[in-house]
Amino acid sequence: MADTTKLSPAAQAALAAVDWKAIDAMTDDDIARQIAANPDAVDLGNAPPEALRVVHPPGGVAVRAIRGKLDLTQAEFAARFGFSIGAVRDWEQGRKQPDAQARVLLLLIDQAPDMVADAVRAVAA
């Protein structure tokens, strides 16, 4: 968990009131329902994949954004690229960060997903 001591007391109280177990347990369908119910959410559903650009956090990888750009569920993404679904879930929910090798692979997936999927299939065969 991040250091919250520099936050205002109101911000600390707001964070303490969040049910983090419920947040962690959210599925893609739960998130999609919440987005659909939010009138301020931007609908990117009809945007072609080439119009989407993934922005990676400094020193990290935006796993959910890469997966979203490919329009894959967590299970599909994990299977296609040789990750465990638990690892994908942990990365997306911030419980863990991908190690250096996984970060490189994820960045390659962002740039050339078909090439990486082909390589993963060839190694598995």
- Mean pLDDT value of segment 6-28: 86
Phi, psi of 85 (to 5 degrees): -65, -30
Q: What would the pLDDT profile of 33-66 be if each residue is shown by its tens digit?
A: 888 888 887 776 677 766 666 666 777 789 999 9
Q: For residue 20, is pLDDT > 60?
A: yes
Highest mean pLDDT among 8-12, 30-34, 51-55, 119-123: 119-123
In the chain, the N- to C-terminal Cα span, in Å, equals 40
Taking 3-state DSSP, the helix, strand and coil percentages for the chain, each rounded to the nearest 5, stand at 60, 0, 40
Say how far apart CA 82 and CA 86 lie, in whole Å. Answer: 12
List, in order of start, the domains of the chain with CATH numbers.
Answer: 43-124 (1.10.260.40)
- Specify the residue for token string 């072609």: 48
